[in-house]
Amino acid sequence: MDTGLDILAALFGVSLLAGFVDSIAGGGGLLTVPALLWAGLPPAAAIATNKLQASFGSFSATVKFVREGAVEPRAMRGMIACALVGGVAGAAVLQVVDASVLKDAIPFLLIGIALYLLLSPKAGDLDAHRRIGEGAFALLVCTGIGFYDGIFGPGTGTFFAIAFVSLLGFNLRKATAHTKVLNFASNIASLLGFLAGGAIVWTIGLVMAVGAYAGAQLGAHMVIRNGARIVRPMLVVASLAITAKLVWSEPDHPLRHAAGWVVGLFV
């Protein structure tokens, strides 16, 4: 498609901001996918092109965290393998199953995460007691969330981060660093499928990839420097923003009806 420099510049700016946000709390796709649709890409091309730029963003954050000693990917081989298997399986199931039912359940989980962080102000400030072994975590959590990322996607980074905090007892900075490694793994698994489909718009995707890479470097730096002080509020905002997006895009969602009923009480 023929895209002018003004459109490319706008998409670069969006991907820069999305890379920054996504490297801290996830949810960058809430910015980039609508921007790609606004630029005129068909939905399939928008999703595929978004996965290309998101892969660069998650790779950038991973590189930053590894260089700063916040994570060691070689120690996560089991987790990475399980996330990859789950992602590939989810993408395969998506070809034959309607995943729209997840739109009803996921917002409730995201609201629960936001409440957990708001009502447990010290959760994730420091390392805590581990509730599950790393092998079980890899097999159950990484495979499960990887599968979710392959079949649906929104909130994947948030789910990984909270799982690391609540089950492995990681502090939020450490959880975020480990999350980006798994995000990169699941992004690559999905990207391979999109490469085979040929839907990626390469000019736009590569321009946005540069923005995502730079934004993720800045975001990862903020996580390393500020830890839970920046990760906690960003996770809350990301959880609520993803919830709002999912509910708003589904006219019959139970939460949308509940919100309308509450508003009606005061009008």
| 126 SS3 class | coil
Residue 193 scores a pLDDT above 80 = no
In this prediction, residue 178 carries a pLDDT of: 95
- As a whole number, the mean pLDDT across the chain is 84
Residue 134 is given by DSSP the state: H
User: For the segment 18-31, what is each residue's pLDDT rounded down to a tens digit?
Assistant: 999 989 888 888 88
CB 189 within 8 A of CB 33: no
Which whole number is the average pLDDT over 117-121? 74
Q: What percent of the chain has pLDDT over 90?
A: 38
Residue 233 scores a pLDDT above 60 = yes
How many other C-beta atoms lie within 10 A of the C-beta of residue 120? 13
What is each CA distance from 213 to 22, 23, 195, 207, in whole angstroms?
11, 10, 20, 10
Confidence of residue 245 (pLDDT cuts 50, 70, 90): confident
Reported pTM:
0.84
CB 144 within 8 A of CB 174: no
CB 189 within 8 A of CB 150: yes
Angle between helices 5-25 and 228-248 (to 10 degrees): 120
> In this predicted structure, which of 146-155, 174-183, 197-206 has the lowest mean pLDDT?
146-155
Q: What percent of the chain has pLDDT over 70?
A: 87
In this prediction, residue 134 carries a pLDDT of: 92
In this prediction, residue 16 carries a pLDDT of: 96
Residue 155, class by beta-carbon neighbours within 10 Å (0-12 exposed, 13-18 middle, 19+ buried)? buried
